[in-house]
Amino acid sequence: MKIVRKAVQPPSEQNPPRVPPWKILVVDDEEDVRRLTTLNLRGFEFAGRGLDLIEASSAAEARDRLREHGDIAAALIDVVMETDDAGLKLVEYIRNEMHNRMIRLIIRTGQPGVAPERYVIDNFDIDDYKDKTELTVQRLYTTLRTALKGYRDLQTIELNRLGLARILDVTPELYDLHRERLEEYFRGVLMQIIGICNLEHSGMIFTIDGLVMTMEGKDVRIRAGTGEFWDGENGKTRREDIVELCTHAFLSQDIPHGLRQGAMIVPLKVRDEVLGFIYLESQSELTASDQELIQVMANQCASALDNFRLHHSLEDAYDEAIDMLGHVAEFKDSATGSHIRRIQEYTRRIARALGSTEAEADTYAKASRLHDVGKVGIPDDLLRKPGKLTADEFTLMKRHTLIGDAVLSRSPSLAVARTVAKSHHEHWDGSGYPNGLAGTDIPYAARLVAVADVFDALVSRRPYKEPWHAEKAVEQIAAGIGSHFDPHVAEVFLKLYRDGELEDLIAAATENEDGNLDINGSGEPGHHV
């Protein structure tokens, strides 16, 4: 499906496009010359645009007019004015100080001997040289038309360059996959497309309204919008009409009737699948270059959207894998269900308090759910033993960290969970297991989970103990600072506790939804304390 443009409303119902005139600077110290130029160019049009003649009686005045009007297309410049070379110095000012390479400069002189043609052409960046005596009405028409055609073509090249640079600049943002709401993503895309059409110096686009829609089956869902058909009751009616048009375009693969003048439907298409549409309405005609840039941007948007969907599909699969493995551990050890859910939330809150981003904290929190997944390899009678473990039993129990490491090693996406499963029983002073790591050699995520895991185990009922009061458990965490726990992590945890940020989790550890004592916990007797 290609870009679709079609004007179907009667002219009387349309607002005529507001096309600005070409701005022409006439620089001459003779008023009669300026007046004659105005008369000779009366009724002049090029590419459907008339002229706006801006007069200056000196090079100094011309500088002021140039600073006031940044979109002058061409200048007719006399050479001899306040000085014999005032016009030539004006040319140097425009090219070298203003760095304006777009404006077309036409030298016209009544004293060719003062500024010989070959010398001026060889030494100054001009586009034409005319003796005033030869600049008849027809010659003036031809000269100016050629100058405007050159300006338009250079402008098109420059706008394409700026547009492509803009696309390259914003493409990394399009592929930012860590966005919680697709609406924010599409609003950004729409703003970038409108920005491309409103690039500086275009002088063509006054207002662009737009909608971005995605396809879900055969249904169209509006994701973002701007302009008059986005707000108010009338906007609601217009949106409904546009959705119907775009749905028709999708189903029939044909040009829909009913588009306003200056309207475009741009499909967001990847391979043979249409993911959605960008609908645009402009108060003036969008050029072929505008349309090409919009299509390039739309192609980037479609590819990014496809990656966005794939990324979130993989995230969903990752979450499902974690839940599945968590349930495996829960079935194996009846004391893990609520515990792992609380550990997840403890870990998230600690990470955020330590300065992690939402995304980072979420990664650590999800990984914490699998901290005891290795217990699938520990005998049931050992997991549920009500009394203290013997030395041999404790040695066997410690193997759950290595079993968890082995289970999760098969998936690179579970790398953080793997380090947590293996290292959450390492101690800051090196006295932990399985590898006796110390200090910052212990993975950061494992240091977070270590505090959360021990605290929740202490305040929870276990087969081998009654739940501890929260204050007593807090004292135990404080006592382990610098030996068992990372001091910074533990201090942040204690602050969260003092600020009342953990009360809901502590309450959940002692009561289930029915108000009964919750027997869920880590099921790991003795060695937490």
Measured at the CA of 461, the angle between CA 378 and CA 414, to 5 degrees, comes to 45
Question: Nearest CA to 340 among 318, 324, 354?
Answer: 324
Contact by Cβ (8 Å): 72, 86: no
Strand partners, 109: 131
What does the block give as tokens for 112? 């060719």
Residue 386: asked if its preceding bond is cis (omega within 30°), the reply is no
Contact by Cβ (8 Å): 388, 526: yes
22-27 and 128-131 beta bridge pairing:
unpaired
User: Which one-letter DSSP state was computed for residue 268?
Assistant: E
> Could you list the active site residues?
375
Give the DSSP H/E element, type plus range, for residue 32: helix 31-40
Collapsing DSSP to helix, strand or coil, 54 comes out as strand
Contact by Cβ (8 Å): 8, 257: yes
Contact by Cβ (8 Å): 128, 147: yes
What does the block give as tokens for 159? 């706008």
C-alpha distances in Å from residue 74, one per residue of 45, 71, 103 = 14, 9, 5
Question: Nearest CA to 243 among 227, 226, 223, 262?
Answer: 223
Contact by Cβ (8 Å): 264, 279: yes
263-270 and 51-56 beta bridge pairing:
unpaired
Cα 509 to Cα 503: distance, rounded to the nearest angstrom:
10
C-alpha distances in Å from residue 6, one per residue of 159, 200, 234, 281 = 24, 27, 22, 11
Give the DSSP H/E element, type plus range, for residue 221: strand 219-226
Phi, psi of 212 (to 5 degrees): -120, 130
Question: Nearest CA to 16 among 283, 282, 206, 227?
Answer: 283
Collapsing DSSP to helix, strand or coil, 442 comes out as coil
Collapsing DSSP to helix, strand or coil, 230 comes out as coil
Collapsing DSSP to helix, strand or coil, 341 comes out as helix
